[in-house]
Amino acid sequence: MSVTETDYRDAISRFLSGVTVITTRHGSEIQGITATAVTSVTLQPPTLLVCLNRQSATCRTLIESGQFAVNVLGANQQDLAQRFATKQPDKFAGVPTTAGVTGAPLITGALAHLECRVSAQNDVGTHRIFFGEVLSVAVAEGRPLGYFRGKFSALPP
């Protein structure tokens, strides 16, 4: 019995997720991508994983830099989620950021920033899984942005 792409998408879209923008810097190049494929892996050492399509410009830059930041978006940042889900070249224009310890842009107003160094990586199908050892974190209060069945929604705090 085989599962079609449509069947799989229909089922997995019922898994409620938070929304992040993964950012990275390599030299003068900065990139960012909206991503829900983000999971905590282990506390010792603090490690998370992100899965990026290898066709993504951010994925290619992340492979070069070996470092990235996870920006956990708040409910009032849906516009950023939509912007970073495009391939427009000026995604950071007008977006307030600061530079983190890895040099990756940290998006102002995000609920959390987790900066990581790539500790392992593996390709599966079209995607690359990056394991990131967390080097630095910062948190803020607020309502999170959620994603369920293809739609964004503000979640309770």
Q: Which residues bind ligand FMN (CB under 6 A)?
A: 19, 31, 33-37, 51-53, 56-58, 85-87, 147
Q: Of 113 and 128, which CB lies nearer to ligand FMN in the complex structure? A: 128
CB of 124 to ligand FMN, least distance (A): 12
Q: Of 43 and 151, which CB lies nearer to ligand FMN in the complex structure? A: 151
User: What distances in angstroms separate CA 51 from CA 59, 113, 140, 151, one per listed residue?
Assistant: 9, 17, 25, 20
Buried/exposed 16-55: b ≥16 CB within 10 Å, e otherwise: ebbbbbbbbbbeeebbbbbbbebeeeeeeeebbbbbbeee
CB of 71 to ligand FMN, least distance (A): 13
Measure the CA–CA gap between 71 and 77, rounded to whole angstroms.
11
CB of 149 to ligand FMN, least distance (A): 11
Q: Of 1 and 150, which CB lies nearer to ligand FMN in the complex structure? A: 150
